[in-house]
Amino acid sequence: MATVTLRINGQPVTVPAGTTLLAAAAQVGVKIPTLCYLKDIGHDVGACRICVVEVAGKEDFVTACNTPAEEGMEVYTNTPAVRASRRMTLEMILSDHHMDCPTCPRNGNCELQALAAQLNVRTVRLSGATRADFPRDDSTPAIIRDPRKCILCQRCITVCKNIQTVAALELQGQGFDALVGPPGNRKLADTLCVQCGQCALVCPTAAITERDDTPLVWAALADPGKHVVVQTAPATHVTIGEAFGLPPGTDITGKMVAALRRLGFDAVFDTNFTADLTIMEEGSELLKRINEGGVLPQLTSCSPGWINFMEHFYPDLLPHVSTCKSPQQMFGALAKTYYAQQKGLKPEDVFVVSVMPCTAKKFEAQRPEMNAASRYWGNPAIGRDVDVVLTSRELIRMLREAGIDFTALPDEDYDELMGVGTGAAQIFGATGGVMEAALRTAYEIATGKTLARIDFEAVRGMEGIKEATVPMNGTKVKVLVAHGLANARALMDKLRAGELKDYHFIEVMACPGGCIGGGGQPIPTDTGRRRSRIDGCYTRDKALKYRKSHENPEIKKLYQDFLGEPLGHRSHQLLHTSYRPRQSLVARD
């Protein structure tokens, strides 16, 4: 490998050709400050100019984040001129920033705040026009845009365009009036945005955040007339602890249950339970499609960002999508039917809260057709199947506000009836997990044999597109797994072109890494954390008593007492749904 040798502040360093000055400096213990740079998503546009450095022989500065090291370079990272420019640039940003730090959603977890502290900037001498006139965009159920806090780093543009191939945001306007937002000054709700929230994860400030629905939950908890139940998604079991100083991937399930009880929920349930149910329904659907010549390959349907993506971009392929609702929506429908019935509660009194790693789940819960319980009972007063969706970040805020000393809590168990989840359900949180869980169950149902090895390593990990073949009753079942919508798009283009005819089942998760990397997860969420959280899912899977969905005793009871059988009449009433093209949105300027 070709190397180059250069000097950073006089220190010689040898690095592979193509290494950035930023990375070269890090090797000699020099941490050049950055703001807009985000290696994780390949974002190095050099917009903020915070990482400028001086290179001997060049009149102007260069940005360390995107300038490759050259042989013999003499780089200076802290000359008076560089420091003055860097500090003044930061003052410029701050003079144009809506600084209401104490009441800002990102207070205490803001990269701009952190940089001001790092550079010891204590005053902003510049003043003048501000971005105050840019309106807040709260047109969508999940994602709120506040351009007053935007520093135009363009990370959201990169993640939306390159990682998700949605391109709902762009840089527009000239000079001081430049703005990052939907093309043509549209509201976000009128764009192709799929609500995945990856933009909120990479936003350094609070220019893009999740809608805060915590007041609705506090109000429900305080209402004696409501029976408030909560469900926790698999991916939250290994992430919530990060906010309380625990390493990423730590299994905090028992503590989360205890914490939710202390917040005052009347029953604490597990979305893992309905993840197992999803496997029963979706696995049966897959076998039915294979045996009866249905539309193949079948596509998973648990990721609401992915469903939005299909409805927006590939409506012609919707027949491939499983009719199964997501575990969240299955839970809501059952909470207000099965659970209410078993407990002798009025369904209209049951209030369902979800804790999800996901912003798009807020959108999903508000879809008009997600009122199965209301239709089941013929009672409009029942309303939504899922009343409020909290992201991981919102729950963390509630726990903090309630003064719950999370790490000091004992481990507690979920309530009965909808509280048992298997290891198969736990791995729903990781890319490939739904596929692996489905294979564990579909194989045993189809063949009547017990799997010798239930770990399907081929579908695990951060590879963009993964593939496996599993022999079942003489059929070689071929499966694919994709995460991140750019990978999904690559597969859908092939499917559209007729190239994936011999595949049976494709799992897609909108977010990189799967739900553990969801748009509602703790910030930061980067590749390293995604890997640790994925490991956490498989560790918990191994530790659980049941590791196959069809072995879940509460699922057996549910079918016995209420549903009958997978794909039965009640399942179709409550657990299955349909999709529709939403191409009206695809109109471009």
Partner 1 sequence: MVEMVKYFLDFVQKESCGACVPCRVGTKRGQELLERVLKGEATGEDIALLSEVAKAVAPAARCDLGRMAGKALVYALECCQNEFAAHLAGSCSGTVAPNLGWQAIVG
Given the rule CB under 8 A, which residues bind partner 1? 45-49, 52, 59-61, 63, 81, 84-85, 88-89, 92-93, 95-96, 125-126, 128-129, 151-152, 154, 171, 173-179
Comparing CB distances to partner 1, the nearer of 205 and 521 is 205
Q: How far is the CB of 120 from partner 1 (least distance, A)?
A: 17
Comparing CB distances to partner 1, the nearer of 131 and 483 is 131
Q: How far is the CB of 80 from partner 1 (least distance, A)?
A: 10
Comparing CB distances to partner 1, the nearer of 155 and 289 is 155
Q: Which two tokens stand for residue 116?
A: 């001001």
Is 48 annotated as catalytic? no
H/E segment holding residue 471: strand 465-472
Q: Catalytic: which of 364, 394, 436, 507?
A: 364
Comparing CB distances to partner 1, the nearer of 128 and 215 is 128
Query: Per residue in 324-358, is it b (16+ CB within 10 Å) or e — as a string?
Result: bbbbbbbbbbbbbbbbbebeebebbbbbbbbbbbb
Q: Phi and psi dihedrals of 466, rounded to 5? A: -120, 160
Side-chain-side CA neighbours of residue 513 (13 Å):
25
Cβ neighbours for 284, distance < 8 A, ≥ 6 positions apart: 445, 566, 567
- Transcribe 343-361 into DSSP letters: HT--GGGEEEEEEES-SHH
* Best CA proximity match to 502, nearest among 478, 474, 468: 478
Instruction: Give residue 265's Cα distance to chain centre.
Output: 25
Q: Which two tokens stand for residue 425?
A: 């359900």
Is 532 annotated as catalytic? no
Cβ neighbours for 288, distance < 8 A, ≥ 6 positions apart: 294, 567
Q: Would you say 479 and 459 are in contact if contact means Cβ atoms under 8 Å apart? A: yes
Q: Which amino acid is at 554?
A: E
Q: How does strand 227-232 pair with strand 52-55?
A: unpaired
Comparing CB distances to partner 1, the nearer of 96 and 526 is 96
Q: Catalytic: which of 149, 255, 336, 361?
A: 361
Q: Which two tokens stand for residue 329?
A: 């929506």
Q: Catalytic: which of 302, 324, 358, 511?
A: 302
Q: Which two tokens stand for residue 447?
A: 């063949």
Q: How far is the CB of 204 from partner 1 (least distance, A)?
A: 13
Q: How far is the CB of 88 from partner 1 (least distance, A)?
A: 4
Comparing CB distances to partner 1, the nearer of 46 and 464 is 46
C-alpha to C-alpha distance for 241 and 258, rounded to whole angstroms: 13
Adjacent-strand bridge partners of 12: 7
Q: How far is the CB of 49 from partner 1 (least distance, A)?
A: 5
Q: How far is the CB of 159 from partner 1 (least distance, A)?
A: 17
Task: Give the burial class of 383: count Cβ atoms within 10 A of its Cβ; 0-12 exposed, 13-18 middle, 19 or more buried.
Answer: middle
Q: Where are the beta strands (DSSP E) in 342-462?
A: 350-356, 388-391
Comparing CB distances to partner 1, the nearer of 129 and 381 is 129
C-alpha to C-alpha distance for 128 and 255, rounded to whole angstroms: 49
Is 515 annotated as catalytic? yes
Is 285 annotated as catalytic? yes
Task: Give the burial class of 539: count Cβ atoms within 10 A of its Cβ; 0-12 exposed, 13-18 middle, 19 or more buried.
Answer: middle
Q: Catalytic: which of 70, 71, 369, 467?
A: 369
Q: How far is the CB of 363 from partner 1 (least distance, A)?
A: 30
Report angle CA 194, 391, 366 to the nearest 5 degrees.
55
Comparing CB distances to partner 1, the nearer of 84 and 295 is 84
Is 322 annotated as catalytic? yes
Comparing CB distances to partner 1, the nearer of 47 and 370 is 47
Q: How far is the CB of 201 from partner 1 (least distance, A)?
A: 22
Q: How far is the CB of 539 from partner 1 (least distance, A)?
A: 43
Rg (CA), the chain: 25
Q: Catalytic: which of 242, 282, 311, 554?
A: 282
* Best CA proximity match to 575, nearest among 235, 338, 382, 353: 338
Q: Catalytic: which of 110, 150, 153, 515?
A: 515
Q: How far is the CB of 100 from partner 1 (least distance, A)?
A: 19
- Transcribe 32-55 into DSSP letters: ---SS-BGGGTB----S-TTEEEE
Q: Would you say 554 and 272 are in contact if contact means Cβ atoms under 8 Å apart? A: no
Residue 164 CA: distances (Å) to CA of 19, 199, 206, 309? 27, 10, 21, 9
Cβ neighbours for 251, distance < 8 A, ≥ 6 positions apart: 237, 238, 536, 539, 540, 543
C-alpha to C-alpha distance for 430 and 466, rounded to whole angstroms: 13
User: 209: how many CB neighbours lie within 10 A of its CB?
Assistant: 24
Q: Which residues are catalytic?
A: 282, 285, 302, 322, 361, 364, 369, 515
